[in-house]
Amino acid sequence: MTSGSDSNVIVTRVSRDLFILRYNDLFTKYFEALWEIPEGVTYNSYLLLSDNATVLFDTWKRGLETRFLDALSSIIDIRDLNYVVIHHMEPDHSGSIKALYERNRNITFIGHPMVNRMISSFYGVVPRFKAVKDGEVLTMGSYELKFIHVPWLHWPETIVSYVTQINALLTCDVFGAYTIPKSVALDHMPSDYAASMRKYFVNIIGFYRDNVIKNLDKILNAVGNKISMILPSHGAVIEGDAVNEAINLYREFTLKTPIDRRVVLVYSSMYRFIDHIMSYVNDTLRNWGFDVLTSSPALKGCGRFPRPAFIGSSGWVHGVAPGQHRGAFL
């Protein structure tokens, strides 16, 4: 179901007691004011209704507080909300903490020990807080929640949650995708969705890829390899065969397994010297059987290159030209 008159809001059940609250953001052109996302992005929050315990997992982006509270109010009275799990403090997920606290001061926020101070420094409020240890299990009515610390995926305070009874793994940014999926859940992995996950990984998670495999294995061990459903905070709920496909994709992304024989040449040239060099590189790569794409990064935002790149630049004020410097960083 959608919520109220806002067609960008989706509120629906993903299992008997678990709801998704999803906002389809078609308006942000540059994610983190940097990554170009013409495809849009979603912010997903989840609500677990159990006997005597109502648990919310993450919220929506800062600036969407009123819409978020309206969506949540379409399922419960916010005064009845008991717990809010904060998987990650980046404001695309923590943005409604203050608004929730102002509506219900009895909420206990749950998160990594670092999160307590981050809430007060980000939002100027000091709510009730329960710090969870790595592997800690809390019973919430008829459900058991296990919390696993996954540092640097992609911030130091990041955790994921596992709902034992339904084998559901709530992962926040991990397994996210830049896209506005037509359906709430996927049970197989179409190639266009895999490409959306790949772009998201390269932009957001990839910088920390050394931490991906070890945290992935840590999660799988902690949950006994039993995952029926992955619930990320961007993109679609992943279930059925798509669960293993998503996990395998993450391993591929981390190991930088080439998906094709494409290479990007990123360069610009002031006086044709670099043109000459890159033309030689281009011809050589083509002779070796690569499909070569060329790009000239502008100073506006862009996505990281999701495949191997060669950077060429004219010398400029004791360094590389600004566009290429940016390209090299990306």
* Amino acid identity, position 25: D
Residue (197 or 309) nearer to Fe ion, CB = 197
Residue (75 or 153) nearer to Fe ion, CB = 153
Q: At its nearest, how many Å lie between Fe ion and the CB of residue 105?
A: 27
Q: At its nearest, how many Å lie between Fe ion and the CB of residue 228?
A: 23
Cβ-closest residue to Fe ion? 90
Q: At its nearest, how many Å lie between Fe ion and the CB of residue 184?
A: 18
Residue (157 or 173) nearer to Fe ion, CB = 173
Q: At its nearest, how many Å lie between Fe ion and the CB of residue 233?
A: 6
C-beta neighbour count of 53 within 10 angstroms: 17
* Contact yes or no for 162/136 (Cβ under 8 A): no
Location of structure tokens 């902690």:
222
User: Is the omega angle on the peptide bond into residue 154 within 30 degrees of 0, that is, cis?
Assistant: yes
Nearest to residue 313, comparing CAs of 277, 281, 282?
277
Q: At its nearest, how many Å lie between Fe ion and the CB of residue 275?
A: 39
Residue (25 or 92) nearer to Fe ion, CB = 92
State the Cα–Cα distance between residues 78 and 177, nearest whole angstrom.
Answer: 29
Residues that bind Fe ion (CB under 5 A): 90, 92, 173
Residue (58 or 245) nearer to Fe ion, CB = 58
Q: At its nearest, how many Å lie between Fe ion and the CB of residue 85?
A: 15
State the Cα–Cα distance between residues 275 and 291, nearest whole angstrom.
Answer: 18
Q: Distance between alpha carbon 176 and the CA centroid of its chain, in Å?
A: 4
Contacting residues for 314 by C-beta, under 8 A, at least 6 apart:
268, 269, 270, 271, 273, 274, 320, 321, 324
Q: At its nearest, how many Å lie between Fe ion and the CB of residue 15?
A: 23
Q: At its nearest, how many Å lie between Fe ion and the CB of residue 225?
A: 26
CB pairs under 8 A, 24+ apart, for 322-330? Answer: 323/268, 323/296, 323/297, 323/298, 323/299, 324/266, 324/267, 324/268, 324/297, 326/297, 326/299, 327/266, 327/295, 327/297, 330/297, 330/302, 330/303, 330/304, 330/305
Residue (41 or 185) nearer to Fe ion, CB = 41
Nearest to residue 159, comparing CAs of 126, 217, 110?
110
C-beta neighbour count of 311 within 10 angstroms: 18
Q: At its nearest, how many Å lie between Fe ion and the CB of residue 204?
A: 6
Contacting residues for 244 by C-beta, under 8 A, at least 6 apart:
none
* Contact yes or no for 57/87 (Cβ under 8 A): yes
Residue (173 or 245) nearer to Fe ion, CB = 173
Residue (84 or 311) nearer to Fe ion, CB = 84
Residue (92 or 239) nearer to Fe ion, CB = 92
Contacting residues for 279 by C-beta, under 8 A, at least 6 apart:
none
